[in-house]
Chain A
Amino acid sequence: NAGVTQTPKFRVLKTGQSMTLLCAQDMNHEYMYWYRQDPGMGLRLIHYSVGEGTTAKGEVPDGYNVSRLKKQNFLLGLESAAPSQTSVYFCASSYHAASAYEQYFGPGTRLTVT
Chain B
Amino acid sequence: AQSVTQLGSHVSVSEGALVLLRCNYSSSVPPYLFWYVQYPNQGLQLLLKYTSAATLVKGINGFEAEFKKSETSFHLTKPSAHMSDAAEYFCAVTLSVYLGGSEKLVFGKGTKLTVNP
Binding site for B on A (CB under 8 A): 4, 31, 33, 40-45, 48, 50, 58, 90, 92, 97-100, 102-103, 105-108
Contacts and interface: CB of A to CB of B under 8 A. Distances in A.
Interface in B78-101: 90, 94-97, 101
Contacts of B108: 42
Contacts, number: 62
Could you tell me the dominant secondary structure of chain B's interface residues? loop
Contacts of A90: 43-44
A106 B44 CA distance: 8
B46 interface: yes
B107 to A, nearest CB: 4
Given A58-B104, A99-B32, A99-B95, A43 B90 contact: yes
A96 to B, nearest CB: 8
Contacts of B32: 98-100
Interface string B34-71: 00000001111110010100000000000000000000
B43 A4 contact: yes
B104 A48 contact: yes
Given A40-B109, A42-B109, 17 more contacts: A42-B108, A48-B104, A50-B103, A90-B43, A92-B44, A97-B97, A97-B103, A98-B102, A98-B103, A99-B94, A99-B97, A99-B101, A99-B103, A100-B51, A103-B44, A103-B46, A107-B42
Contacts of A98: 32, 94, 102-105
Nearest to A56: B103
A100 B103 CA distance: 9
A31 B109 contact: no
B105 to A, nearest CB: 5
